[in-house]
Amino acid sequence: MSVSVARPLLPVVIDHLCRIYPERDATELADQIFAAMHLDHEAFSSELHRNKWDESDIWVITYGDSISEAGEAPLKTLKKFSDAYLKPEISGIHILPFFPYSSDDGFAVINYSQVNDSLGDWGDIEAIGQDYDLMADLVVNHCSQRSPWFENFKQRKDPGKDYFVEADPSADLSDVVRPRTSPLLCETQTLDGLRHVWCTFSHDQVDLDFSNPAVLIEMIRIIRRYLDQGVRIFRMDAVAFVWKEIGTNCVHLPQTHEIVRLLRTMIEAHTDDAIVITETNVPNHENLSYFGNANEAHAVYNFSLPPLLLHALVSGTSEHLKRWQMSMPPAQTGTFYFNFIASHDGIGLRPANGLLSQGDLDELVNTMQSFGARISWRAVADGRNEPYEINVALYDALQGTSKGPDRWQQQRFLCAHAVMLALEGVPGIYIHSLLATQNDYERLELTGQNRSINRHKWDFSALTGKLEDATSHHAQCFSTLKSLIAIRVKQPAFHPNAFQAVLHLGDEVFAFWRQSLNRNQSVFCIHNMTDQVVVIPINSINLTSLDLWEDLISGDNYSVEYESLSIAPYGFVWLTNRAVR
């Protein structure tokens, strides 16, 4: 239920600040934050538990230069491609970091307030934001060693001299959670001598020190700039690591959660329909904590879905996928799961901890390596390294099963997307999955970075040629995916917050029931996880005799008089009592 509540903004902000900085003057800090956000202290209206999304929300994730054409700014090419090929099915576009950067394909930001001139300019960003819901990255945890702030840190000048986390290399940092194998501290020469700065991800990505309120205020100035340029959806990158305390694991600390709440408060105070999504590639129960009580992130990346779905499709059993899905709490009204099955990074394995056995994980890693994948590693507390993520293009990841490659690659790939499109939440489709791009070994060799295998750069003419060639697997997958999306966005039962329940029809299938918020439409979604035909007794699906049931995908009709439903290898049906065409 949506409840409209008028609240004075100042006391809300002061409360956040008292929790983050109990030793500081919260009123003075609040004044600085309001000035940075260009807001006054007057009351604002906030609707608690309000959904700002519906079944028509489908977002594409892409780099600004994933598609380019000679003589044209890549952001203009992205807009041209989106208008010609993605409308009307796609409602939003997440442009991965489009700022000047020094490494990690954009996530080592040099200047947060500029657009990388090799991509275009703010006018190109605004043009995309005028026609699509625009998502941008708030790279909140770290910035580049080449940023002006870090240069000032080395020169001991403002702003920047106290913007970064320093630590004594003799301190016990063994409890700190690491997503990488590189040393945590990086030696840096400054005018005051040698310092050791904290680098969670790489030595080119230096962690910002949010214990200094000036860093928080800088980030709020950046947020205001993005809002002014048309950004509506904020992806808070690596936000779990922003607060550090020696003697803790330095992840998910209370101040981190309070900073997310404060940033959401300021973003919504400026733009009521803006959305905050947290990106926390961590075990499932930790990830869910960023919902708070529907007062923190509007959405969390559903990180456990990619490894569990991949495992189900290459192992032929949905056992673990079903068990996980049954344990997932429905997202409260005013929150949603951001579902994805491929990304610019890789398929994270930490979110599968406790959901897949070590044997399952080892088999999955070995299978993916046999399909050309690379494996990225992280350091753990006992000094070992363990697999952190699988780097692979999803199309190639699904070329076979643990038994080896087979002839079902394309159907298996489409089945994976059908699951994502039908699940509770908002789907996010990586551009290279939408286009069925394969492993890019040339780019991998060029950069020496594992993640480059799934960051292909398409030439616009070459890509459109593929999409216009009906014999191309790119065209076939793209056409089918667009058809599935066109169906999905019309069905009220696929609202991100519509009811969902897992169906127990055997481990060979992954099946669940969706029901619209007004209960008028039901959809039974049944997906074959195997390379064999699966026969489902109709009476096991619990179809009501009062309705004639239609498969949204094929258009075939069914009733309770049918004895069984046959589903082809990696086939799927979406049975509904009230199709919307």
73 φ, ψ to 5°?
-60, 130
DSSP summary character for residue 82: I
The residues assigned a catalytic role are 237
Contact 538, 557 (CB under 8 A): no
CA distances from 103 to 136, 204, 261, 447 (A): 18, 7, 29, 11
- Domains of the chain by residue range: 299-490, 499-576
Cα separations in angstroms, 363 against 312, 348, 358, 366: 12, 15, 9, 5
> CA 510 to CA 495: how far, in whole Å?
19
What is 390-402 written as a DSSP string? EE--HHHHTSEET
Task: Say how far apart CA 59 and CA 126 lie, in whole Å.
Answer: 17
pLDDT of the residue at 341: 98
Question: For residue 512, what is the enclosing H or E element?
Answer: strand 509-515
Read off φ and ψ for residue 144, nearest 5 degrees.
Answer: -75, 150
Residue 451 marked in a binding site: yes
At 248, give phi and psi (nearest 5°): -115, 180
Q: How many CB atoms lie within 10 A of CB 144?
A: 23
Alpha helices in 194-318 (DSSP H): 213-228, 254-270, 284-288, 305-315
Max Cα–Cα distance, the chain, nearest Å: 83
Is 368 annotated in a binding site? The answer is no
How many Cβ atoms are within 10 Å of 159's Cβ, its own excluded?
14
Chain centroid to CA 73: how far? Answer: 26
Give the C-alpha separation, 273 to 52, whole Å. 6
d(CA 286, CA 133) in angstroms, rounded, equals: 28
104 known member of a binding site? yes
Q: According to the annotation, is 38 in a ligand binding site? A: no
Q: How far apart are CA 127 and CA 118, in angstroms?
A: 17
CA-based angle 100:201:442, to the nearest 5? Answer: 65
Bridge partners (DSSP) of residue 206 are 143
Q: Are 112 and 215 in contact (CB under 8 A)?
A: no
CATH fold label, 299-490: TIM Barrel (3.20.20)
Q: CATH classification of 499-576, choosing from 1.10.275.30, 3.40.1350.10, 1.20.1050.10, 2.60.40.1180?
A: 2.60.40.1180
Q: How many residues appear in the chain?
A: 581
- The answer to the question of whether 237 is labelled as a binding residue is yes
Q: Is 16 annotated as a binding residue?
A: no
Cα angle at 233 between 227 and 234, to 5 degrees? Answer: 85
One digit per residue, the tens of pLDDT, for the chain of length 581 reads 444 455 688 999 999 999 999 999 999 999 999 999 999 887 565 666 899 999 999 999 999 999 999 999 999 999 999 999 999 999 999 999 999 999 999 999 999 999 999 999 999 999 999 999 999 999 999 999 999 999 999 999 999 999 999 999 999 999 999 999 999 999 999 999 999 999 999 999 999 999 999 999 999 999 999 999 999 999 999 999 999 999 999 999 999 999 999 999 999 999 999 999 999 999 999 999 999 999 999 999 999 999 999 999 999 999 999 999 999 999 999 999 999 999 999 999 999 999 999 999 999 999 999 999 999 999 887 778 999 999 999 999 999 999 999 999 999 999 999 999 999 999 999 999 999 999 999 999 999 999 999 999 999 999 999 999 999 999 999 999 999 999 999 999 999 999 999 999 999 999 999 999 999 999 999 999 999 999 999 989 988 887 889 999 999 998 878 889 999 999 999 999 999 98
Q: What amino acid is encoded at 537 in this protein?
A: P
Does 440 appear as a known binding residue? no
The token pair at 194 is 């040698």
| Residue that has been written with the tokens 């961590």 in this structure | 282
Contact (Cβ atoms closer than 8 angstroms) between residue 269 and residue 227: no
Angstrom distances, CA of residue 87 to CA of 257, 275, 437 = 36, 22, 20
User: Where would I find the H helices in 328-408?
Assistant: 358-370, 394-397
Residue with tokens 């947020």: 223
**How would you class 311 by CB atoms within 10 Å of its CB: exposed for 0-12, middle for 13-18, buried for 19 or more?**
buried
Residue 150 is which amino acid?
F
Burial of 383 (0-12, 13-18, 19+ CB in 10 A): exposed
Within 13 Å, how many C-alpha atoms sit on residue 421's CB side?
34
